[in-house]
């Protein structure tokens, strides 16, 4: 049984882009969450945290850039999964894409409400 219009090269390209974006996202998260927040945030002491951020603004800006990289990679992963799963079933790929993007949106809204 052959699939007309089924392109394995395109499928491989999207799978590789999703995998690469996941690896980049992991490294950016380790940097932004582990290194930057670990050095700048002093739990329970807002003035010390403010002083740390003010004294190392370059590290703070690098952490913000890391979070932007995570956001962009997250969108790339969701889009790649959408394209990768499209030949299988249109409902499944739409649900998978929403499964990737929707929880991040909801989490950001809850984080904004409860942690502000």
The alpha carbon of 58 is separated from its chain's Cα centroid by a whole number of angstroms, namely 22
Question: Would you place residue 10 in the very low, low, confident or very high pLDDT band (cuts 50, 70, 90)?
Answer: confident
Specify the pLDDT at position 51.
95
Specify the pLDDT at position 5.
53
Question: Would you place residue 107 in the very low, low, confident or very high pLDDT band (cuts 50, 70, 90)?
Answer: low
- In whole numbers, what is the pLDDT of the chain averaged over residues? 79
**pLDDT tens digits for 13-61?**
888 998 999 999 999 999 998 899 889 999 999 999 999 999 999 999 9
* DSSP 8-state symbol, 56: T
């Amino acid at each position: 049984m052959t699939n007309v219009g089924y392109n394995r090269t395109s499928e491989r390209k999207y799978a590789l882009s999703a995998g690469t974006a996941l690896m980049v996202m992991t490294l950016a998260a380790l940097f932004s969450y582990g290194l930057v927040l670990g050095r700048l945030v002093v739990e329970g002491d807002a003035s010390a945290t403010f002083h740390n951020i003010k004294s190392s603004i370059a590290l703070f800006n690098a952490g913000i850039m890391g979070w932007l990289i995570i956001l962009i990679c997250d969108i790339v992963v969701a889009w790649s999964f959408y394209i990768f799963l499209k030949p299988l079933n249109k409902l499944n790929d739409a649900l998978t894409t929403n499964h990737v993007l929707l929880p991040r949106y909801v989490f950001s809204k809850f984080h904004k409400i409860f942690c502000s």
